[in-house]
């Protein structure tokens, strides 16, 4: 997984450097440092360092110690968090938060149905009061409200 | 005395009912965030920054500063009661803090850490009061060449402190620099990495990245490590002890410890990139070296807790000096503070204290008050924070995700920024897992645009010649200091870590 991540970083660095060399000029028309100067420097440095690290990893014979069971919950949490992002767009701040907490606590805090139900309602209510009423901050609007 | 009258002016601004309320709220929130394992000042500031929008700048800055050092106070509670540091700067507090608790002295340990934090923080603020105007005076002669070199110094010192994973630190910094180039090039007006998107023309905003990296990233990592599965059964029950308050001997035997580590912590904190973690480890090592009974360290020696606690709070104050007087953040936390200043249209630097005296001195005055408030809260609100520690992480985690998400959205009402935050959270998790440095990324994201602008201005002034860096006296001084730090800091870091490693293996 570590190697895969490094290759993703390398791909990003290569793409960044490509755009810097192709789309952005090194010098401006007036002969001063142009928009491409710094990105080229950053891109090349990132590519070189990433390749160096990848070579080190490939030379390192030690197998990667990673317990597969430790990934289960974190992947679930990430997927649920991304689902929350979608829910926010569809249902708005309060309802999406209730649904998200209900789903996540059901998965993470198993068998505590009453506790989860109470938390799923009280916490979003508290956060809504804090952000919307007390702080007068923006809360995500529901998509459906655009259709009305 | 000018400093005194400026400080009085600052106090008059700070001591208003609403500002005191913000101070109290910030201190409580900071301590609450600090108590959550893995969340430190950086995460606290990033997550709670959106809460300060809509406030007036003085009140908002006071609240943020209170959150900043409140998180330092809070991080030690779990170190003592759970042997789990709240964040990296409180690792050294576990060496003797937890043994003290196991020996039935959790109450005195908790009180002494509050007193030590108060002394370190207050001495640090006194030194800011005396030194900040002097630093600001010196830095008035700085121009673009010096600012570029300062930005380089900040990045280099942070990277050398990373230690063995320095290559990953450089890659992290490059990612931060790359993110900082997104937007419109100010000199030519050309779009860079915007790909025709209207949202990206303004650049990648700092807040979603910081919240994602430090908030969500840390959370995902904690779940990966199984923190949510372990209960809080290991918590030491301090309220069953005979004695809650420290003895006279505890205070008398550690008074010199507090005095010297306040100064040590402050000096280390001033150095960009060094920070509270290094300060606390160095303080522990130094104290052990100076002690008549070094064999007691690691087994519940009060000085072993007081030293790092004093130093890390003093370092937090010290880190404000380069931020306020040079506009250069030396750590992720002060980078978030700088982002907050910029958001309110303020530019910390040599002229900041002159052009915005009410803000600068209001902030410094609030730090005196904040330390007093935190001393009282730290001692008397301990039962509240202990209850917080007992909330299972599997419940706390999703709630933190909600706060982070809604906080990010509240900044610009932008779903794109919210999605960026989630992306940064996932990236932050992998960075944390594979030894990258989110702090280097965030620092680069803030310093990168400043450094690029300064370099381009420098080369315009010098007509393309790099010799300007050795022709200016101030630049030569900065280069000299940078070389000294790049060589000296790893040695100091090794000195500090060797004491920590010795404690871990029980030697």
Alpha helix segments (H runs only) across B271-392: 275-290, 302-318, 320-326, 332-343, 352-355, 357-380, 382-390
Q: How far apart are CA B345 and CA B375, in angstroms?
A: 32
Q: What is the pLDDT along chain B (507 residues), one digit of tens a residue?
A: 477 888 888 888 788 888 888 888 888 888 888 877 667 787 788 878 877 877 788 888 888 888 887 887 887 887 888 777 767 778 888 889 888 888 888 888 988 998 999 999 899 989 988 888 887 777 777 888 988 888 888 788 777 777 778 889 899 999 999 999 998 887 788 889 988 877 788 888 878 888 888 888 888 988 888 777 765 555 666 555 566 788 888 888 899 999 999 998 998 888 776 678 778 888 888 888 888 888 888 888 999 999 999 998 898 888 888 888 888 777 778 888 888 887 777 778 777 877 888 888 888 888 888 888 888 888 887 777 777 777 888 888 898 899 888 888 887 788 888 999 999 999 999 998 898 988 888 888 888 888 898 888 898 888 888 888 888 888 888 888 888 878 877 776 666 666 555 555 443
Q: Is A34 helix (H, G, I), strand (E, B) or coil?
A: coil
B403: nearest CA partner in chain A: A127
Question: What would the two tokens of residue B313 be?
Answer: 């709070």
Angle at A56 between CA A55 and CA A58, to 5 degrees: 65
Q: Answer whether B7's CB lies under 8 Å from B129's CB.
A: yes
Interface contact A93-B225, CB threshold 8 A: no
Question: What would the two tokens of residue B285 be?
Answer: 């090592």
Q: Which helix (H) or strand (E) holds B7?
A: helix B2-14
The overall longest dimension of chain A from CA atoms, in Å, is 69
Residues 16-45 of A with CB under 8 A from B: 16, 19, 24, 28, 31-35, 37-39, 42-43, 45
Instruction: Report the residue count for chain B.
Output: 507
Q: Answer whether B388's CB lies under 8 Å from B29's CB.
A: no
Interface contact A88-B429, CB threshold 8 A: no
Contacts of A12 in chain B (CB under 8 A): 175
Q: What pLDDT shows up at residue B295? A: 84
Interface contact B54-A137, CB threshold 8 A: yes
Question: What would the two tokens of residue B283 be?
Answer: 């303080």
Question: What would the two tokens of residue A146 be?
Answer: 């655009």
Query: Which residues are CB-neighbours of B472 under 8 A, at least 6 positions away?
Result: B143, B145, B146
A66 touches chain B (CB under 8 A): no
Q: What is the ipTM of this complex?
A: 0.89
Q: Answer whether B160's CB lies under 8 Å from B490's CB.
A: yes
Alpha helix segments (H runs only) across B193-232: 198-201, 206-210, 217-224
Question: What would the two tokens of residue B280 be?
Answer: 């606390």
Q: How far apart are CA B117 and CA B374, in angstroms?
A: 9
Interface contact B410-A35, CB threshold 8 A: no
- Above 50 in pLDDT, residue A146? no
Q: What pLDDT shows up at residue B197? A: 78
The secondary structure of residue B226, as a DSSP letter, is T
Q: How far apart are CA B302 and CA B308, in angstroms?
A: 11
Contacts of B434 in chain A (CB under 8 A): 2, 5-6
Average pLDDT over residues A18-35: 86
Residues 113-132 of A with CB under 8 A from B: 119, 123-124, 127, 131
Q: What count of other Cβ atoms lies within 10 Å of the Cβ of residue A25?
A: 15
Q: Is B28 helix (H, G, I), strand (E, B) or coil?
A: helix
Q: Which helix (H) or strand (E) holds B438?
A: helix B438-461
B219: nearest CA partner in chain A: A74
Q: How far apart are CA B390 and CA B48, in angstroms?
A: 22
Beta bridge mates, B82: none
Where exactly are the structural domains of chain B?
A: 2-504
Question: What would the two tokens of residue B34 be?
Answer: 């600090």
Question: What would the two tokens of residue B424 be?
Answer: 């940064």
Distances (CA, A) of B320 to B127, B138, B179, B301, B315: 11, 16, 25, 31, 9
Contacts of A97 in chain B (CB under 8 A): 402, 406
Contacts A–B by Cβ distance under 8 A: 163
Tokens 């002969």, located at residue: A31
Q: Output the CA torsion B376→B380→B383→B387 (10° steps).
A: -30
Interface contact B188-A35, CB threshold 8 A: yes
Question: What would the two tokens of residue A102 be?
Answer: 């209900």
């Amino acid at each position: 997984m570590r190697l895969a991540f490094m290759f993703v970083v390398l791909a990003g660095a290569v793409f960044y450097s490509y755009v810097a060399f192709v789309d952005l000029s090194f010098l401006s028309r007036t002969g001063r440092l142009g928009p491409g100067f710094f990105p080229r420097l950053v891109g090349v440095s990132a590519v070189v360092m990433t390749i160096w690290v990848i070579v080190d990893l490939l030379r390192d014979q030690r197998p990667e110690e990673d317990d597969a069971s430790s990934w289960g919950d974190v992947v679930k949490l990430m997927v649920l968090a991304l689902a929350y992002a979608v829910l926010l767009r569809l249902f708005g701040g309060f309802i999406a938060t209730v649904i998200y907490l209900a789903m996540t606590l059901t998965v993470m805090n198993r068998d505590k149905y009453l506790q989860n139900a109470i938390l799923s309602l009280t916490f979003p209510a508290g956060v809504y009061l804090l952000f919307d009423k007390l702080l007068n901050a923006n809360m995500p609007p529901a998509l459906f409200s655009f259709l009305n | 005395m000018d400093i005194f009258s400026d400080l009085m002016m600052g106090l008059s601004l700070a001591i208003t009912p609403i500002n005191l309320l913000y101070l109290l709220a910030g201190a409580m929130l900071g301590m609450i965030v600090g108590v959550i394992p893995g969340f430190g000042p950086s995460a606290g500031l990033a997550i709670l920054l959106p809460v300060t929008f809509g406030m007036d700048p003085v009140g908002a800055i006071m609240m943020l500063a209170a959150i900043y050092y409140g998180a330092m106070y809070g991080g030690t509670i779990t170190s003592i009661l759970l042997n789990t540091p709240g964040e990296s700067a409180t690792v050294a507090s576990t060496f003797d803090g937890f043994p003290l608790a196991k020996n039935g002295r959790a109450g005195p340990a908790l009180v002494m850490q509050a007193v030590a934090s108060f002394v370190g923080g207050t001495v640090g603020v006194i030194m800011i009061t005396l030194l900040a105007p002097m630093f600001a005076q010196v830095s008035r002669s700085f121009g673009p060449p010096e600012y570029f070199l300062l930005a380089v110094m900040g990045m280099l010192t942070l990277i050398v402190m990373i230690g063995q994973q320095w290559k990953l630190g450089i890659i992290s910094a490059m990612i931060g620099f790359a993110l900082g180039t997104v937007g419109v090039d100010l000199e030519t007006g050309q779009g860079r990495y915007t790909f025709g998107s209207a949202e990206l023309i303004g650049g990648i905003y700092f807040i979603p990245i910081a919240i994602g990296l430090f908030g969500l990233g840390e959370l995902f990592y904690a779940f990966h490590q199984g923190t949510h599965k372990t209960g809080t059964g290991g918590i030491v029950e301090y309220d069953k002890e005979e004695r809650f308050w420290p003895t006279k001997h505890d205070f008398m035997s550690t008074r010199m410890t507090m005095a010297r580590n306040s100064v040590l912590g402050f000096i280390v904190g001033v150095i960009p990139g060094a920070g509270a973690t290094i300060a606390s480890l160095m303080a522990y090592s130094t104290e052990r070296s100076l002690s008549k009974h070094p064999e007691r360290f690691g087994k519940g020696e009060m000085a072993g807790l007081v030293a790092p606690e004093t130093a890390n709070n003093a370092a937090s104050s010290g880190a404000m000096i380069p931020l306020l007087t040079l506009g250069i953040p030396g750590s992720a936390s002060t980078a978030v503070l700088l982002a907050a200043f910029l958001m309110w249209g303020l530019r910390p630097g040599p002229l900041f204290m002159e052009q915005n005296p009410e803000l600068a001195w209001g902030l410094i005055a609030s730090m005196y008050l904040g330390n007093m408030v935190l001393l009282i809260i730290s001692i008397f609100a301990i039962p509240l924070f202990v209850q917080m520690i007992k909330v299972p992480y599997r419940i706390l985690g999703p709630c933190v995700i909600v706060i982070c998400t809604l906080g990010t959205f509240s900044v610009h009402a932008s779903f794109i920024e919210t999605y960026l935050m989630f992306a940064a959270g996932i990236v932050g998790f992998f960075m944390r897992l594979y030894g990258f440095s989110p702090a280097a990324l965030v620092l680069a994201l803030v310093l990168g645009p400043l450094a690029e602008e300064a370099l381009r201005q420098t080369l315009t002034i010098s007509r393309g010649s790099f010799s300007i860096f050795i022709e200016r006296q101030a630049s030569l001084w900065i280069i000299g200091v940078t070389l000294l730090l790049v060589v000296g800091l790893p040695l100091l870091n090794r000195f500090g870590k060797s004491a920590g490693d010795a404690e871990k293996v029980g030697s």
